[in-house]
Copies of this chain bind each other. A is one copy, B any other.
């Protein structure tokens, strides 16, 4: 039974508030809102509406005036830059609990990249004015935002370093490690196509294929039905450092 505080609801609750509670539950798990008490999170939840996107749908486009924050509730999206020649650079892949769009909310500038659904996805949308008012009322969210921005900035700087200092196999090793879920003796990597990897590290699909083949030969990883398992973590780590 759904309860508010200790008071059980006697009448069948409107669907809207049921889903409100579920959205509140969900938002509570997002790092941005983790410091808040339930009432404050509900304050945000009330301001959201859920929007569904089919695989391949464009959620925001570079240059758009940005006036909303999105939280991924289900599915997966990618943040991409697209060159005039059509080539794509994947800046980030976001899954459940991740959010995007805050830059435009903060500085009022246009969107700096495209965001595209890579799977059917459900996103919670929070409009600018609402968000801003809420943030001003809870400084905890402001800190949370700053922490998140810091994390991304460190990550972006790391990516710049890799692009300059590492060769393609080195960059491949790095994304493998970054996408590994920590299962002790042998670690799994969430499924990514070579094409996607290539766009994440600024390389061609073929070169990524060759690097993966090499890692298999050497026993660094093993691949079974497109599921990659990391066999020799430290070898990959060594390969992901600049070599002299």
Contact = CB atoms under 8 A, between A and B. Distances in A.
Interface of A: 81, 83-87, 89, 91, 102-103, 106-107, 109, 112-113, 136, 139, 142-143, 145-147, 149-154, 156-161, 163-165, 202, 241-244
Q: Is the interface of A mostly helix, strand, loop or mixed?
A: helix
B146 A81 contact: no
A69 to B, nearest CB: 13
A81 B143 CA distance: 27
A164 B107 CA distance: 26
Contacts of A159: 160
A87 B165 contact: yes
B106 A242 contact: no
Sorted from nearest, which 6 A-B pairs have the closest CB atoms? A83-B242, A164-B202, A156-B156, A149-B149, A85-B244, A81-B161
Contacts of A136: 139
Contact of A160 (B106, B142, B154, B156): B156
